[in-house]
Amino acid sequence: MEGRVVEANDIINEMEGKGMAPNAITYNILMNGYCRSGNAKKAFNLHDEMLSRRIQPTQVTYTSLIYVLSKRNIMKEADNLFVKIMDKGVLPDVIMFNALIDGHCTNENVDRALCLLKVDRMKVPPDEVTYNTLMQGHCRKGKVEEARELLNEMKRRGIKPDQISYNTLISGHSRRGDIKDAFRIRDEMLSLGFNPTLLTYNALIQGLCKNQKGDHAEELLKEMLYSAEESRGVRRTSTGVAFGALSPGLSVILTSKSETVPNSKP
């Protein structure tokens, strides 16, 4: 990735040599490359170069910078940059806002992320990505009830939950061993017309394995494979990946079951 970014930088020099001036889009593309490769220093150098050339940074520019700060776990600087952006009169869009929310959630600071949602000054209407990110952050910390309340808040605000929303709750309950609640969310998801995905089955089977319910887990795995054959929604390669990921927990249970079966008499 870094090599390609260096080539892109050479292109800017070549453009200038031919009398073509780079614009904000040019810099944003190059900056995004540095940010994706985790090179915050070069990304910010490009930002400074934009300013020195009197090229106005855009929302895309700042989203990339917030992204790289988040990936480098420098959330204080990401927050400070966000404040500076607003002080300059640049209104953040939902993509920039979600990048900051995701950064705090990834760095296990969900309380700060939740506070951002309630700051009236930003006036950024959240979307399903905003709420899904917050829900995932809460579930990673075992706060599934808080995640459920976020889903309810989504509905109150007229934001429609999607499969990711429900899979997040299912996964959160399964990781805690609350398998009944996980299946209750699954049933709610089905009643709304959403089909279970590979993630749905993964989470439920892992939860069943955690609760030593090998028979039920095996039945659900067969259901997943049958559903894949019927609908082709989950292809063979995907189910293979799923089985590979689940087999350690499932095989332990199935092995323990087989060890308890008495040998048949000759």
143/175 Cα distance (integer angstroms): 11
Could you count the other beta carbons within 10 Å of the beta carbon of residue 224?
24
Q: Is-contact 219 183, C-beta < 8 A?
A: no
Q: pLDDT digit string (tens) for 44-68?
A: 999 999 999 999 999 999 999 999 9
Predicted local distance difference test score (pLDDT) of residue 223: 80
Categorize the per-residue pLDDT at 161 as very low, low, confident or very high, splitting at 50, 70 and 90: very high
Fill in the amino acid letter for 139. Answer: C
Residue 132 makes CB contacts below 8 A (sequence gap 6+) with: 162, 164, 165, 168
Q: pLDDT digit string (tens) for 192-238?
A: 999 888 899 989 988 888 888 877 888 888 887 777 666 554 444 44
239 CB-side CA count, 13 A: 16
Q: Is-contact 44 56, C-beta < 8 A?
A: no
- When mean pLDDT is compared over 94-103, 246-255, 256-265, the highest value belongs to 94-103
Q: How far apart are the first and last CA of the chain?
A: 65
Average pLDDT of 78-88?
Answer: 91
**DSSP conformation letters of 195-247:** PP-HHHHHHHHHHHHHTT-HHHHHHHHHHHHHHHHHH-SS-HHHHHHHHHHHH
Q: Is-contact 78 103, C-beta < 8 A?
A: yes
What sign results for the dihedral spanned by CA atoms 252, 253, 258, 260? positive
Which burial class, exposed, middle or buried, applies to 14 when counting CB atoms under 10 A from its CB (0-12, 13-18, 19+)?
exposed
Fill in the amino acid letter for 229. Answer: E
Structure tokens at 16: 């200038």
What's this model's pTM, rounded to 2 decimal places?
A: 0.79
What sign results for the dihedral spanned by CA atoms 216, 220, 225, 226? positive
pLDDT of 113 strictly over 90: yes
Angle between helix axes 214-231 and 236-260 (nearest 10 degrees) is 160
DSSP label at 261? S
